[in-house]
Each structure stands twice: as C-alpha cells, then as structure tokens.
Structure 1
Amino acid sequence: MTAYASPHPPETRPRSARRAQRRSEPAPAGILPSRRPMLAAVAAAALAPFLTLLVLVSTQWEPLLSLDRSLATALYERVHPDPQFAHALEIWTEMFGTWAMRIVSLLTALWLFVRREFSTAVWAGTAVFLANLFGLITKLGVDRARPEFADPITVGVGPSFPSGHSLMAATGMGILLFAALPLLRGVWRHVAWTITIGIALSTALSRPMLGVHWFSDIFAGVSLGVFTLAATMLLWTFLPPVARRWDRSSRSPR
C-alpha cells in the first residue's frame, strides 16, 4: 500500500501557508526570565516595601523619621572626620550613580539591538525610562528635604525620597546583568550576580554615608528599581509572537 504524499512538502509549501503556520506558533523564548508567577512575585515583593515607606514618609511617621535621623548622625560622624574615605565614596557614588547608569542602560539597549535582540533592547529602554519617570514623580510628589549638617561632606540637589542613585544603580546594573547572563556559563553567572548586587547596594549605601540621603530613601530607591525590572519583564512576556519572532536568541539553530 502506497502512502499518500502531500502535493506541498514542508519545504515547498506556498509562502502564505508558511506564514500562517508561523503566526500560529507560540511566542519564542528570549533571553529574559519568562516565568510569570515568579516575576509577579518579585514585583510584588519589591513594591510592598516601597509603598510602605512612601506612606510612612508622606505621613511623617515619627518612629521612621527618628530612626533615619539617628542613622544619618551616626554615619556622618563616621565619615566626616576621614576626608580620604569621603572622597573615595564620592568617586564611587558617581561612577555608578544616576547619570552613569542611565548611559550604561542606554548603551546596553543599543548593544542588544545591534545583536538583534530587538524585543530585549526595547525592554531595556523601557525599564530605564520608567525607572526615571517613577522616581521623578515620587520625588516631586513627596518633596522630602535632605539631611542637613553644619559642615556637609557633600551637597545633594533636589528632593530626597527616593534616592535616584539607588534607583538607577539597581535598575542599570540589573539591565546590564540580564543582557550579559546569556553569554556566561557556570560559576561566571554567580560572579555576575554577586558583582551586580554588590555594586547596587554599595552605591545605595554611599548616599547616606555622604549625608545626602536618609536611609529610608535608599531602601525605597532599590525597591523601586527591582520592581521596575520585574514588572517590565512581566510585561515583556505578554508580547505577541511577532514582537519576538526576529530576536536572534529566539531562532532555532539550523
């Protein structure tokens, strides 16, 4: 008995049929995490402390304000008598500060675009844009005054809550991390995570150590940065198939 042969084998089917099949396929995976429950849980876990601090700072809850003042005084008394340490902190905080991380984020998005990771490049640009937008809206809405000292170590500009340096250190280093992870294997992936967390947290801590932010400012900044990363990744998983069809990482090896 002779098997029936299709008049249009897969290789020679009409172009319209091949296009229809591609449209019916599920969205290919990219280089970002795609587990929606995990991303939603991370976003919620980061948003909760940010919103809590936002309410407490806005209502001027005295126990938090008192703790902030105590920590600010203790850090100032530690750093102010040591000009060399203070200068090193100033260098570090600007190396990984607001503008530096904005530039790193945009260059990372450009690098992803050149590598034909198109949807991931859009994610990176969206994340850095939203992080700055959320930070600016919160700063203007809360309008919290910065710490004041008779002999300041350095001077900060603008409202204090949340810390822009902390927000952008978390966001920028996160964007760089997830862009680089697919290129790393084994122990180097753990090294990349360690470096990312270390830089983000040390940059955040440099702000109250220099006397230009309250401790709650930096906690809120890091929380908002993590929320922005997780929330934009979650939105990325809902992109239609065509939006990720031409990402290099989405193509099957030939």
Structure 2
Amino acid sequence: MPTTHSDIDIAARNRVAFPLLVPFVLIAALVAVRWAPLHTLDDTVSDRMHAAALAGAGWVDVSTWLTHILSPTSWRLAVLVLVIWLFRRGARSVALWAAGTMIVGGVLGAVLKLVFSRARPEFLEPIAKASGYAFPSGHALNSALGAAILLLVLLPILRGRPGARAALWTAMIVLPLVTALTRVVVGVHWLSDVTAGLFLGAAIAVASAAVYSRRGVPEPVTG
C-alpha cells in the first residue's frame, strides 16, 4: 500500500530520540570521568563472560561466528539493499536519507572512539582481538542504526500486516542485542561500550528521521 516519507518518522513523532540519547550521554559522561562503579561493573561482567566462554568452547564458536555475520559491514549491506530497492521505486529522497544516515552514524561512531580513546578489555587468554578503541562499540552502534533505519522505512509499508510487522520488530530488536552480546562474550568490548552503542545508533536514526520529516515533500513508496 502507498505510504509517504512523512510515515518514516513514526518513532520520531513519538519523540523518542531524546530518551534514546539520554542513556548514551550518561554512560559517555561516566566513562569520561572514569566513574569507579561503572568500571567495576564492566570488569565484573567481562571477567564472568570470559570465564564462561573459556569453559564452553561451543559458546565461543557461536559468538565468534555471529559477531562476524552481524558486523557493521553486514548492516551497511542490508541498508544498501534497502536504498537500491527505494531508488527502483522512485523514492529517491528516502533512499538518500537512509544512505546518508548510515554513513553519518558510522563516521560519528569512529570520531567518538578517537575522542574517548578507551582501551579494550585485556585477558591473559584472549578469545579474540580487535584493533582501535572501545567506546562506543562500532558493532553495536551500526547494528542499532541499521535496524532502526529498516524499521522506520519498512513499518509503514507493512501497515495492515500485523504478523509481518511483529516479525520485523522482533528481528530488528533481537539482532542488535545479539550483536552487542557477542562483542562482550568474545572479550573485545565492555558492557558499557555496547550499551552506549545501541542507544546512540537508535537515537541517530530517529533524530535523523525527525529532521527529514520536516522537509514536507511527500514521496510515494509502494510495498
């Protein structure tokens, strides 16, 4: 059924961008000032996850596999497919919004890593290694960003199809959470890294949709 680009801001019209951004800002501030309770929590979670991972090789294999499958590249490819689909249906401005939001979000995440320059967890028996800084998690940020973009574009198209909408919601919530979990399990991120990344990715997409929706030029997208 037809929809317009104003439908793209379903979440934005509910004004959820700010509530999503608040947890990120709070965690970022606590990381910046090296708040001891947060670091204690991060250490405890990482140590327990690492011990559990070493005790169960199967869990490590699954987590390693998933962390590669659900990489930022995979989410970027998913959004690229969406962009191509939108272009083929004449919804060019929506396609440009999706592409631009994914690019800007990824760049912002990379810049924030340099700003915070937080070291990654270190273990005597590491399961995996990752280059660069830890905060915020790029995997978590890009997964939440990509999932939010897919939700904002596809939900209006699936209006009147509750089963498909429920499946989409479930997938776009579960997959970013799984992505974040695997980064902690394989020992390359702290809990606060992935939590902040999830909130920031979702906030970027919703805030971008809110700005885009104010352009006021309807553009049909058919399902």
TM-score clears 0.5: yes
Indicate the residue corresponding to 2:179 in structure 1.
Answer: 203
* Paired residues of 1:31 and 1:249 also in contact (CA < 8 A): no
Identical columns (%): 32
Indicate the residue corresponding to 1:8 in structure 2.
Answer: none
Question: What amino acid is aligned across from residue 17 of structure 2 in structure 1?
Answer: A
Deviations 1:110-136 (A, max 9, x none): 221112122211110121012112101
**Any stretches of 5+ residues in structure 1 without a counterpart?**
1-27
- Of the candidates 124, 131, 146, which is equivalent to residue 150 of structure 1? 124
Indicate the residue corresponding to 1:106 in structure 2.
Answer: 80
- Of the candidates 191, 209, 213, which is equivalent to residue 167 of structure 2? 191
Q: Which moved more, 1:179-188 or 1:130-139?
A: 179-188
Within-5 A mapping of 1:1-254:
29-33=5-9, 37-38=13-14, 41-184=15-158, 185-241=161-217, 244=218, 247-249=219-221
Deviation (angstroms), 1:91: 1.0
Are residues 34 and 178 of structure 1, via their aligned partners in 2, closer, same or farther at CA, if it must alter by over 3 Å?
closer
C-alpha RMSD of the superposition? 1.7
* Paired residues of 1:126 and 1:232 also in contact (CA < 8 A): no
Are residues 148 and 170 of structure 1, via their aligned partners in 2, closer, same or farther at CA, if it must alter by over 3 Å?
same
* Paired residues of 1:108 and 1:175 also in contact (CA < 8 A): no
Partners of 2:103 and 2:178 in 1: how far apart?
23
Are residues 238 and 65 of structure 1, via their aligned partners in 2, closer, same or farther at CA, if it must alter by over 3 Å?
same
Partners of 1:34 and 1:98 in 2: how far apart?
25
Q: What TM-score does the superposition give when structure 2 sets the normalisation length?
A: 0.91
Deviations 1:137-164 (A, max 9, x none): 1100000000000110111111000000
Deviation (angstroms), 1:104: 1.5
Greater percentage in helix? 2
* Paired residues of 2:12 and 2:207 also in contact (CA < 8 A): no
Deviation (angstroms), 1:62: 0.8
List structure 1 segments (4+ residues) > 3 angstroms apart after TM superposition. 28-31, 34-37
Deviation (angstroms), 1:37: 4.5
**Any stretches of 5+ residues in structure 2 without a counterpart?**
none
Are residues 29 and 132 of structure 1, via their aligned partners in 2, closer, same or farther at CA, if it must alter by over 3 Å?
closer
Partners of 1:187 and 1:99 in 2: how far apart?
28
The SS at the match of 1:249 is coil
